[in-house]
Structure 1
Amino acid sequence: MNASTATHDRLPPPWHGQRLAVIGFAALVVLCALWTVYGRDELLSIIATCRAEGAACSPTRLAELTFGSDGRLRLLGTVSIALPALAGAFWGAPLISRVLETGHGQLPASPRGRVHWYLTRFALAAAGTTVAAALLALLVVWWWQPAANKAHGLPWYDPAILHATGPATLAAALFGLAAGTAAGLLLRRTLPAMITTVACVLVVRWTLHASHRVVFSPSVFTAEGTTAPPMPEGAWWSGWGFLTRTGGQAPASACAPEADMAECMSRHGFTGTFVRAYPPGRLLDLPMVRYGHPARSGRRRYGSRGMAASPPRALCTPRPPA
């Protein structure tokens, strides 16, 4: 037996050391599934009980009754959001570093053999991470669906929904796993690789979250006069202001909140109002643009005559969400 063959004999199989990670992530998904079944059943029961009261079941009362359910749904969304860091720290970081650190096995002498072993080992971890991320995202959507974008539910731009659902969650999970694997390969020590991975995932997610509004422009809705521009239900406001005679835009601060809106607009020569907002239909575009997907990031304009919308209402200092 030559040296090369002996090296391959001492090399652990690609699935070695991943059993604990598989069991841990499977247990996490099962627990979240049980939590989702209980929470969604509770939400449907609350909605049905309230609606049975007839006129007494106002949107405000229904929102008060489902407040606790919203908090539990946010907790599930937080688990989905944290999955990239968990996958990177507890699956990706030990993937190679533990073998190197403990000396349990030796890597193949040939570069081709090392690459094959790396890819096979990472592919198994990537498959498990993808399945876990997809299942968690589906559980969040399933729980959210009965009250999605309604007064008694969470809006689509709530962080627990926006960051925890859609294809971008899979990209984030795979990024976390890749970052952990790379840290383990470079540092060759498990604990420093885990710490580095968590820090890397947090920094990247914060950077993308802080810059997504710069990369992804909101749609612009306009209306003539003092009426608020009609918008789709559940749109995420990012700002508003006034239209000038030349087609320009003036900030909302041009008219003080306590001022007479019609008189102020006449004095400044404003002809209408505009609102910048992200419609619910762009739920997938907004998170996917953070991970390099060529989403439709161009700004859109909607006029009050060109869309079916709710009846105009008097403009009285709209307040965009924080």
Structure 2
Amino acid sequence: MSTLAPRRSEPPRSEPPRTGPDRPDPYGPARVVVRQHRWTLRATATLLALVAAVTAVSRLLTDRFADRFATTGCSVEHTVTGCGDTVRSYLDDQYLMHTLQSWAGLLVLVLPALVGAFTAGPLIARELETGTYRLAWSQSVSPARWLAAKLAVPAVPLLAGVSLVSAASTWARARTGSEYPLDWFDTPVYVATGTAPVAYALAGLAVGALTGLLVRRTVAASSLAALATGALIAAFGYFRSALRPPRTVVLSDSADGVSGGPPADSWVVHTGQLTSGGRRLPVDVCWLNDVESQTRCVADHDITGMFADYHPASHFWPLQLVETGILLVLAALAVVLAFRVLRRRHG
């Protein structure tokens, strides 16, 4: 009688890792956010890359136009016979490049408000308003992971694109100036260069998340987030000069006019009259139409000259770093508050 031989044991087959309730997919919430808003994310990244390219190309064309104009022998200050059309064409080209760079700076200026509106409305408040967030939370996704994915996914293309725009704008500003220079202290230029654009983008993202969790209505949350971020930009634009103590220079009268003014490319934040005792008076305290009355006013107030408070160009990076630090702290506080609001309302 024959016996049956035992079956040979087959090696266990490798199974793909389970991503069900026992082992959730750590990237699941991020994939959902990418899929839901992929067109918006792509459009944002493309727009920022286009802004960076326009900024860099306009700066290169500005230098190219200047070099070509220098070979003609014409001059803007002293136009010679036969150079009228050449000078006009050169100035038109320079003004066009100046306009392109100005519009790029304005776009970066309003970008944080747009980011805050998108984060508050379509990204967070819409799901809370329609109740679709319950589907994600029923798939072993905690509220904290849900909110973290909502913040992390748009932050990646936003930071990459804004950093690219900031690098292009900073490089363009450091190039040789044109006939229409962009002052470093102008708000559209200042907010588009240095480290400030990244900080403003993160602040808009954080403010939008907090507003969306508090309001929970798409249209209202988007509007309030845009207003709050815009108010933040306006507040820094108003108080920016106070982030670092300015320098002071005393202006003196001479035969050639007023001398001893601030250096070129300086940001003059305040001017006024100065008495012999060092007291400061408004700049228009003795601006009268009558010369005799004006002379009497100067003598009565004991005015000896004028003063000017200014930030030199070397204050650009100190002002940038201080403003960036404050914005990052505010963004971190907004994110902490957003998670606390989410935890208080949903556990």
TM-score normalised by structure 1 residue count: 0.73
2:142 aligned with 1:113: yes
Deviations 1:235-276 (A, max 9, x none): 122332333222223333344377599998677544443212
Moved more, 65-74 or 47-56: 47-56
Is 1:33 the counterpart of 2:52? The answer is yes
- Pick from 283, 295, 298 the counterpart of residue 252 of structure 1: 283
Residue 273 of structure 1, aligned match among 306, 316, 338: 306
- The answer as to 2:213 corresponding to 1:190 is no
The equivalent residue for 1:52 is 71
CA–CA separation in structure 2 for the residues paired with 1:254 and 1:30: 50
> 1:117-164 CA deviation, whole Å, 9 max, x = no partner?
42244223323322222112222223333344x653111122221222
SS in 2 for 1:5: coil
Q: 2:251, 2:305 within 8 Å by CA — same for their partners in 1?
A: yes
The code of the aligned residue for 2:162 comes to A
Q: TM-score, normalised by structure 2?
A: 0.68
Q: Which AA in structure 2 matches 1:282?
A: H
Determine the structure 2 residue equivalent to 1:95.
123
Does the 8 Å CA contact 1:80/1:164 hold for their aligned counterparts? yes
- Shift of the 59–15 alpha-carbon distance from structure 1 to 2, 3 Å rule, reads farther
Q: 8 Å contact 1:64–1:152 — kept in the other structure? A: no
Q: 1:172 aligns with which of 200, 203, 216?
A: 200
- Greater Rg over alpha carbons, structure: 2
Distance 2:167 2:238 in 1: 26
Whole-angstrom CA distance in 1 between matches of 2:125 and 2:78: 54
Q: Secondary structure at the match of 1:240?
A: strand
Distance 1:239 1:180, change over 3 A: closer
Q: 1:252 to 1:207 in 2, by over 3 A?
A: closer
1:162 to 157, 169, 190: 190
Could you say what secondary structure the match of 1:156 adopts? Answer: coil
Q: Distance in 1 between matches of 2:51 and 2:159?
A: 16
Q: Are residues 1:68 and 2:99 paired?
A: no
Which whole-Å CA distance do the structure 2 matches of 1:262 and 1:225 have between them? 14
Opposite residue 115 of structure 1, the aligned amino acid is: A
Report % sequence identity.
24
Report the 3-state secondary structure (helix = DSSP H, G, I; strand = E; otherwise coil) of the residue aligned with 2:29.
coil
Measure the CA separation in 2 of the matches of 1:269 and 1:204: 42
Question: Tell me, which stretches of 5 or more residues in structure 1 are unaligned?
Answer: 295-322
Secondary structure of 1:13's aligned partner: helix
Higher mean alpha-carbon deviation, 30-39 vs 157-166, is at 30-39
Q: What residue is the counterpart of 2:39 in the other structure?
A: 20
Q: CA distance change for structure 1 residues 16 and 26 in 2, over 3 Å: closer, same or farther?
A: same
Alignment length (residue pairs): 288
Aligned AA for 2:173?
A: W
